[in-house]
Structures are given as structure tokens and as C-alpha cells.
Structure 1
Amino acid sequence: MHLSDYGLSRERGFLSAFEIDEIALPARFGAIVEAAETLSGLITSGRVRDWLERLPDPDLAEWAQTAPEEQVRAAMVRYSFLVQAYVWGHAEPPRHLPANLAKPMVAIAERLGQAPLLPYSGYVLDNWARIDKAAPLSLDNVRMVQNFAGGEDENWFVLIHVAIEQEAGVLLDNAVQLIAASAAGDAARCEALLLEMNDAWERIYAHFKRMPERCDPYVYFHRVRPWIHGWANNPALNGGLVYEGLYNGQPQALRGQTGSQSSIVPAMDALFGVKHSDDPLKAFLDELHHYRPVPHRRFIEDVGARSQLRGFVAESGVQSLKDAFNANLEQVARFRTRHLEYAASYINKQASSIPGNDPDVGTGGTPFMKYLKKHRDENAAQVI
């Protein structure tokens, strides 16, 4: 088992191996890229649907099947932002997504094995570039390439996630090594790898706690979050969105973009053998698994199928190894606690001020407050 088998690396984790500003799309995408790059202006005009309805349909069915993957993923970023802007760019959402957006969006999504709307991979994992190409990727040397309305709060929200995903590359690489080391009965190697992971978690947490520095909860809720909603469990769309000319005219009820589509925590649960009892959030997260890029799904599944780490550590009789294992479980629980705190301040508190709004429903329709606490506690309780 190697990270490269899944398109992953120690240096970038689940982030794209490419930088989107270096991917040139074919000439047929000219009007599409121009619209995407000027999207904040189209939104501000108050007529974003009018402009997007004028875009040509570049007929991507054949291209999407044979084009290089990095081009298809770059096209996914551009089109998924345009689709979200079309749906949420006016006071009332439409019942239909016009064919000039629906057909290319579905062609791209089908090639990638993902849903035809904005995914976490399009919002974060593939939507970044270094500012100084001669310098390493870091929070002070990275930019969000594709925006909705734009602004510091939107950028910072995404870039904090980019920084976290990059640091997580160590977790993923060490996970693969831990599977091999535990199978070989090498307790000393397992302990060293776990200690290194604990240090990586500290760096991840240092990034995560910086979210409020430049992303204000009120601005996030009212100016950033509305663009990333999906069409499932959303009363404004009542049953989903019709993709004109596709799916036999049946509305598609799809989940919105959410950080819960990140593969970091599920990969760690798979490695450490952490289980969660059935509840609405677990069902939701199980559903979200199918919104991830296919190679990321395979990585989580393969780690879960191959990891014997928990049993090896429990039976080792080496207390320092158990301590290192438990320290990582506590780091994941700590990460979940911070997520819970942000869910409370960025969503629950903001939603509570809106009459008739359900403050316990998160981005993508997540029943989060009660069950995030439960998952955090289950995580912390499964130490050895």
C-alpha cells in the first residue's frame, strides 16, 4: 500500500498534486473560464442567472471521458462554482438548472465519480495555488483561485482548510507505514510513527484555531456559507433541482459542500479502529463518503480493511506505545471539539437569530450539535 496509489503524498496529503492556475483548459472553455474568473462581478450585478444562461454548452460528453484528470478536475472547480452561483445568486432558487450548465456539469461529475454540484474537493482540495512558485506551500504563500463573492473571510475559510489538509499528509503517510509496521510486529517503529503523528496534529490544530482571525462568524454565515448549500433537505428547493435534459426530468436532491467531506478524520478512524454507533450524523457522514473523490474513498476503505494497529497496540504490553496511540485518539477528539465550537459560533448562534430557522442543521443538512458531541465523546472513550 503506497500513497501514490491514491494520488496522495506526504507533502500535500489529500490536496491536488497540481496547482489549478497552471492547468490550461482547451479553447472551448474560454467563455466558461472568463465567467468563472469574473464571477464575483456577475454576482454583484444582481443578474448572475441572466449572464450564466448566455454561456455556450461546450459539449463535454466525449472530452470528459478522455481528457487528462487534472483538466477535468479544474473544469469541475469552474463549473461547480457557476452552478452554485446560478442556484443561489438570486433571492429565490430556480426549479431547473439550464441545460447549458447541467449537461457539462454532469459529464464532468460522471467522469470523476462525484455528484454534479460543488464538492469539498472542488471548493478546497483543487482550488488553491502558491503565490510564489519558488517558495513552499504555506498559509502565507497560498491563495484561493476560484471565488464566489470574494473577500478575506471567504478566502481565509478555504485557506485554513488547505493548510490543515497539507499538514495531514504526514498522518496519511504514517498511517500506511503503521499498517506495515504493526503487521511486522515492530513496536518501536509504531511508537515512533505515532509520536510523529502527534506532532503533526499539533500543527494542524495550530492552523485550525486561527480560523476566527480573518473569518468572522457573522460574515461567514451570511456571505460565505449561502453559496455552498446543496439541494437536499432544503425547503427552498423542496425535493431537489431538475437538471434540464437529464435524469428523465427527476429532481436531484444532493448534499451541499461541507468540511465533513474531508477525508482526514475518517481515515484516522479507519486506522485507529474507532467506531461510532448509529445516529443521524453517522448516517449523514456515511452518505457523504460517496461525495469524496474516488481515490480518497478507496484510501479510507483500504486503511480500514488492512489496519490491525489497535489490536497490535492493545496486545503489545508496551505502555509507551499505548500512550502514543492514545495521544493520537485524543488529538482527533480535540479536533472534533474545535469543530463543535466552530459549529456553535459560526452556524448555531448565527442561525438562532433568524425566525423559523433550525439552528441545529449544519451545512449540507447536518444534524450537528447533539451528534458532534456524541461522536467526540465516542472517539475519546475508545482509548486503549
Structure 2
Amino acid sequence: MNLQVLPRSLSVPFCEVSQRLGLPPILTYADAVLANWKKRDPDGNLELLLTFPGGESVRGFFMVTLLVELQAVPGLKSILDVINGICDNDVAVVTKALDVVSQAIDSMKQALKLIHEYVDPSIFYGIMRIFLSGWKDNLLMPEGLVYEGVQEKPMEFSGSSATQSSILHCFDELLGVQHDGSSAAFLRRMRDYMLPSHRHFIENISSRVSLRSFVLQQADERLTHTFEQCVARLVEFRNYHINIVTRYITIPASRARQLCASKQGLAEELDMIRKAPTALEERGTGGSGIMTFLKTVRDETKDTTITQCTNGNQVLPDSSMTDIQKAASELTIE
């Protein structure tokens, strides 16, 4: 067995810093996106703090991803308004807050569309995935990685993935999206790669109230319509993400197989394809079977519509707000 080892001089401080941050010792979404930017000038133009090979496509990928995060902020803030409205039995407040959530999800989709302008599929497939991939469920590193001076046995960690963003987890918990089986297990594991305050906030949303139950109990036409619109836009966002993955992973993987078989094409493109990790063709950088996973969570989101289910969890009293407000205060959304 040929183990791959991270030298002590890197592994020990890396693990110590990661432990203090409450994150695993690997490049996570929080590292690559949430904390990897600064304002370039007073106008608010942004630039990356750290990057890796791939040129402008790398910058474009992370900046577009960050823009998606920024578009979600109004919706995340409105989650507390939804919960307050439920606890106060105020249909108008809940409806208004859900409108904001719906608009935020739509804005996220519009921001995601910018990826086509700024990211070259061949560069993402042939270069960027190498740096985003981890050493769990990765056939290129089946034994994981030894962190010298930390632990003798190899450790396995998933690579940076959008599933490590708290955004969709928050909206799923708010709307009552039920994930089952392997998709639920994978999403729950991805929460271990989130900042502790983000993870805590998600857990408090899911444990305190049921929005669907409130919508069903009220039987208010406007409230029901707004809830359904939120679900529909979340489905649309996940559908569009599937299209992105098709263009940036599935199609390049197919072209790579064809070019390697025929040995035709530009020398530069062939070289890039040869360097691409073929073991990741059918898997996301987080280690999931990507298309199966994305379609499953999309379909599970569809099942959240009111017409699909007539049962919900009991709505809890006002005292349930304490932990949610405390969790929200730990976040750094401005």
C-alpha cells in the first residue's frame, strides 16, 4: 500500500488552525469562497485573497459563487421573520417574509447564470477539479491522506463542494424539504464542513417550528401560494445547477473519453484532459455520485409542495425562539 503523506511541517499547524476554526483540515467551501475575498476599492469591487492554477476561470468561478451567496442574504435574514411570524400566529408577516425568500432564491439563480460568461468548462474540468477534490470516496486516493505528526492512520475528508454552503440547507429546513437515504446522509455529512455558527443556525431552524404545518393550518390562499412559489424556485435553482454540472462535468468527461480514444484534438486540450482526474468524472468534488445526487435532491424538493403532503410537525410556542435568535446572533451577515 503506497500511502500519501502530508509532511509534519504542514500537517501539524494546518490541523491546529482547522481545529480552532471548527473545520476539518482540508480546503472547504468556507475557505475557498466565504473567507476568500476582500474589497479592492471603496466602490466595493471584490478580489480573491488566494487562488490556484486556472487563470481568470478560477477567479470567475469563485466570484460567481460568492455572488450567489450575497444574493441569498435577504432570504437568510427573512428566515427569522418567518419564524417570528409563526410564533406570533401572524400570517401577513410570514407571507411577506416568504416573498423575500422566494425573490432571493430567484436572484441566486440569476447570479449563477454568470458562470457561463466567466468560467471555461475545459479549465474547470481539466484543472480546477483537481484542487477542489478531497481524499474521501476518491479512487485516486483510496486510503485517504496521512497527516504526519497528527495521526498515524490515514484520514479521509471530502473536497470543497457547494453542498457545504449553508444556504440551501437553511432553505430546505425552513420549507420542510425531506431528504432520505444516501442523499440525506451526504448532506448531513457536509454540515461537518461548515462553520460551527452556520451549522448551529441550520439545526435550530429544523428543530423549532414547521412552516409547512403552519401553512396547512392557516389554509390562507396567499400564504399557500407564496410557500409554493418558494418551493418552485428552489426546484428551478436545483434544475439549473444540474444544467451547470452537465456543461462543466458530464459533457467534458464525454469529450475527454472520445479524444483520448481517437487521440485527435489540439495538443493543449489533450494534455489538459490527460491531467484531469478520471476517477471524478461521475462524482462531485465532495465525493457524491453527482448526477444521481442532484436529481434526487431536486425530486425531493418537488415533493415538498403542499399538494404532496397534508401532515406537518407541531408549531412550537414563542419560547422556542430563544435558541434560534441566539444562533442567528452568531452569524456575520451584515
TM-score by length of 1: 0.71
Structure 1, residues 204-255: CA drift from partner, whole Å, max 9, x if none? 11101111101011111112121111111222222111111111x1101111
1:260–1:162 distance in 2 versus 1, CA, 3 Å: same
Separation in 2, partners of 1:94, 1:222: 24
Q: Match for residue 275 of structure 1?
A: 178
Is 1:222 equivalent to 2:126 in the alignment?
yes
Q: Match for residue 345 of structure 1?
A: 247
Is 1:115 equivalent to 2:17 in the alignment?
no
Q: How does 1:120-199 map to 2 (within 5 A)?
A: 120-132=29-41, 134-136=42-44, 141-199=45-103
Separation in 2, partners of 1:165, 1:358: 25
Separation in 2, partners of 1:341, 1:369: 10
Q: How does 1:270-309 map to 2 (within 5 A)?
A: 270-279=173-182, 281-309=183-211
Separation in 1, partners of 2:79, 2:64: 23
State the 1:148 CA deviation. Answer: 0.9
Opposite residue 235 of structure 1, the aligned amino acid is L
Q: Match for residue 200 of structure 1?
A: 104
> What is the DSSP-based 3-state SS (H/G/I as helix, E as strand, rest coil) of the residue aligned with 2:38?
strand
> What is the DSSP-based 3-state SS (H/G/I as helix, E as strand, rest coil) of the residue aligned with 1:237?
coil
Q: Match for residue 362 of structure 1?
A: 284
Separation in 2, partners of 1:174, 1:123: 26
> What is the DSSP-based 3-state SS (H/G/I as helix, E as strand, rest coil) of the residue aligned with 2:181?
coil
Quick check: 1:233–1:239 contact (8 Å CA) kept in 2? no
Opposite residue 11 of structure 2, the aligned amino acid is A
Number of equivalent positions: 285
> What is the DSSP-based 3-state SS (H/G/I as helix, E as strand, rest coil) of the residue aligned with 1:143?
strand
Q: Match for residue 294 of structure 2?
A: 372
Structure 1, residues 316-338: CA drift from partner, whole Å, max 9, x if none? 12111100011011111111111
Opposite residue 122 of structure 1, the aligned amino acid is D
**Any stretches of 5+ residues in structure 1 without a counterpart?**
1-92
Opposite residue 193 of structure 1, the aligned amino acid is A
State the 1:283 CA deviation. Answer: 2.0
Quick check: 1:349–1:359 contact (8 Å CA) kept in 2? no
TM-score by length of 2: 0.82
Quick check: 2:253–2:281 contact (8 Å CA) kept in 1? yes
Q: Match for residue 318 of structure 1?
A: 220
1:235–1:317 distance in 2 versus 1, CA, 3 Å: closer
Opposite residue 204 of structure 2, the aligned amino acid is D
Tell me the C-alpha RMSD between the 2 structures.
Answer: 1.6
Separation in 1, partners of 2:97, 2:234: 16
Separation in 1, partners of 2:48, 2:36: 6
Q: Match for residue 163 of structure 2?
A: 260
Opposite residue 147 of structure 2, the aligned amino acid is Y
State the 1:150 CA deviation. Answer: 4.9
Runs of 4+ in 1 over 6 A off after TM superposition: none
> What is the DSSP-based 3-state SS (H/G/I as helix, E as strand, rest coil) of the residue aligned with 1:168?
helix
Quick check: 2:54–2:123 contact (8 Å CA) kept in 1? no
Q: How does 1:12-161 map to 2 (within 5 A)?
A: 95-132=4-41, 134-136=42-44, 141-161=45-65
Separation in 1, partners of 2:119, 2:209: 37
Opposite residue 129 of structure 1, the aligned amino acid is K
State the 1:357 CA deviation. Answer: 4.5
Separation in 1, partners of 2:70, 2:127: 26
Quick check: 1:198–1:327 contact (8 Å CA) kept in 2? yes
Opposite residue 264 of structure 1, the aligned amino acid is I
Separation in 2, partners of 1:266, 1:357: 27
Quick check: 2:136–2:156 contact (8 Å CA) kept in 1? yes
What is the identity percentage for the equivalent residue pairs of Structure 1 and Structure 2?
31
> What is the DSSP-based 3-state SS (H/G/I as helix, E as strand, rest coil) of the residue aligned with 2:27?
coil
**Any stretches of 5+ residues in structure 2 without a counterpart?**
258-277, 307-334
Separation in 1, partners of 2:188, 2:121: 28
Separation in 2, partners of 1:379, 1:337: 11
1:308–1:357 distance in 2 versus 1, CA, 3 Å: closer
Larger RCO (CA within 8 A; separation ≥ 6)? 2
